[in-house]
Amino acid sequence: MNIKITFTEPLLGTLAGDKELATEYILSKRENGVASDEVEALNNTPEEVLEKATTIFAKDKDGVPVLWDYMIKGFFKDACSMLRRVPGTKSSKVAAHKKIIDGLIFPAPRKIQINVVGDIKILERPLRAETAQGPRIALARSESIPAGSFININVTCLDKKLEPLVREWLDYGALRGLGQWRNGSYGRFMYEESE
């Protein structure tokens, strides 16, 4: 499946802007602490963009912002998990959906370039939490890629019967998108499928 995803709402950064913290986290998720593509992408990010309290986009060697294939898989899992609760959806009939998505559905490429339309800006917003000590408010800061920007992906389904499910999940992207603050409507998208 050849898919073009066009964001109808801004997409927020996906990676901690503190290089040391992000690198430590990424390496903790890898066997033997081996450096990964994510660390390389973080190293490609200009120093002036990095800031401890900001989430940013990883950049490829040419400085183009990227998403990772596993973020698409994560979106599929989230979409299926929610749509399983809706009677009559294709997803409502799927058992062991995470296992199916992990083993039979493969988004590509690994590093998905974001075709940015306009300028990357910074969005600041309050984060509210109820804690044992009472309500707390903190400030969150993220790079924001404007609506109209797009990505191109290929989705391989080892079983063709899974393609209608993938389409259902992609349709769900108009309601709940990719990236941070999805409940605030960020990262919503439309998609087109081509041959």
For 9, residues 6+ apart whose C-beta sits below 8 A from its C-beta are 147, 177, 185, 186, 187, 188, 189
- Domain borders along the chain are 2-179
For 87, residues 6+ apart whose C-beta sits below 8 A from its C-beta are none
Cα 193 to Cα 81: distance, rounded to the nearest angstrom:
23
The 3-class SS string of 55-103 reads EECEECCCCCEEEEHHHHHHHHHHHHHHHCCCCCCCHHHCCCHHHHHHH
Look up residue 146 and give its amino acid.
Answer: P
Mean pLDDT within 10-24: 68
User: What is the model's pTM?
Assistant: 0.80
Of residues 98, 101, 104, 123, the one with CA closest to residue 185: 123
Average pLDDT, the chain: 85
Q: What is the pLDDT of residue 50?
A: 46
Q: What is the pLDDT of residue 118?
A: 96
- pLDDT tens for 60-104 read 999 999 999 999 999 999 999 999 999 999 999 999 999 999 999
Q: Give the Cα-Cα-Cα angle 88, 92, 97 (nearest 5 degrees).
A: 155
